[in-house]
């Protein structure tokens, strides 16, 4: 017949043996829930930021594409000997110009980083130079002058500066998307490493 004291000692020993396992299970459960909640919040925030950055990149790319298309129309008109061509494309050019201005205003409202502001300032400067020269040549053509190749080449150079500045701005938006993607990947890897380290730590404690 088992002695009552012996049974109590056995029960106490069993509790001491099971206690670390129970505590480890509780800790693992708490860690799992905490990490799950934090990861879910981080993923949702990350998706929102990623959407915003991609929208800004798409807007900048659309802005540059419309500018290039409108500039091509303008150069065609100036290089043409058909005096009626300008009137035929005027409505389309004005509508596109209005859209370009609209997009640029939304871009200007969204810029925050110094490199973005510097790139956009360069776009504004080169755009003004190009448009001023284009207006001069358009007025000369309307007055009956023929625009020679030298003046057209000068306008093409100003246009190249303008389009190049726009592409430089587009690259700032692309760089932000890529930088954010890298940050997200590193954050996820850090979370995995932390959880893995805690699990190994708990296993090591159980084996002691």
Read off the tokens for 106: 């939304």
Residue 187 to residue 182: CA distance in whole angstroms: 9
Residue 29 has a CB neighbour count (10 Å cut-off) of 10
User: Which phi-psi region, left, alpha or beta, contains residue 144 (left: φ > 0; alpha: ψ -120 to 50)?
Assistant: left
| Sole residue written with tokens 């110009």 | 97
Summarised one tens digit per residue, pLDDT across range 12-66 is 555 555 656 666 666 666 666 666 656 666 666 777 878 888 899 999 999 999 9
Summarised one tens digit per residue, pLDDT across range 108-156 is 998 989 999 999 999 999 999 999 999 999 999 888 888 899 999 999 9
| Sole residue written with tokens 């871009």 | 107
**What band does 83 get if pLDDT is binned at 50, 70 and 90?**
confident
- Listed residue (198, 193, 180) closest to 42, CA to CA: 180
| Sole residue written with tokens 């080449």 | 153
Higher pLDDT, 104 or 83: 104
Whether the Cβ atoms of residue 66 and residue 99 lie closer than 8 Å to each other: yes
The pTM (predicted TM-score) of the whole model is 0.68
């Amino acid at each position: 017949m088992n002695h009552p004291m012996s049974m109590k000692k056995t029960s106490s020993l069993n509790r001491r043996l099971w206690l670390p396992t129970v505590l480890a299970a509780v800790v693992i459960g708490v860690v799992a829930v905490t990490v799950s909640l934090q990861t879910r919040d981080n993923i949702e925030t990350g998706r929102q930021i990623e959407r915003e950055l991609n929208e800004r990149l798409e807007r900048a790319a659309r802005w540059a594409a419309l500018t290039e298309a409108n500039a091509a129309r303008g150069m065609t008109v100036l290089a043409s000997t058909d005096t009626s061509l300008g009137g035929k494309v005027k409505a389309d050019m004005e509508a596109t110009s209005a859209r370009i201005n609209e997009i640029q205003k939304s871009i200007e409202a969204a810029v925050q980083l110094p490199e973005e502001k510097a790139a956009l300032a360069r776009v504004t400067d080169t755009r003004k130079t190009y448009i001023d020269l284009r207006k001069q040549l358009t007025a000369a053509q309307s007055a009956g002058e023929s625009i020679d190749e030298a003046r057209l080449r000068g306008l093409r150079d100003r246009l190249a500066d303008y389009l190049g500045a726009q592409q430089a701005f587009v690259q700032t938006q692309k760089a932000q998307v890529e930088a954010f993607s890298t940050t997200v990947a590193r954050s996820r890897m850090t979370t995995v490493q932390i959880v893995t380290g805690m699990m190994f730590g708990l296993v090591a404690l159980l084996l002691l």
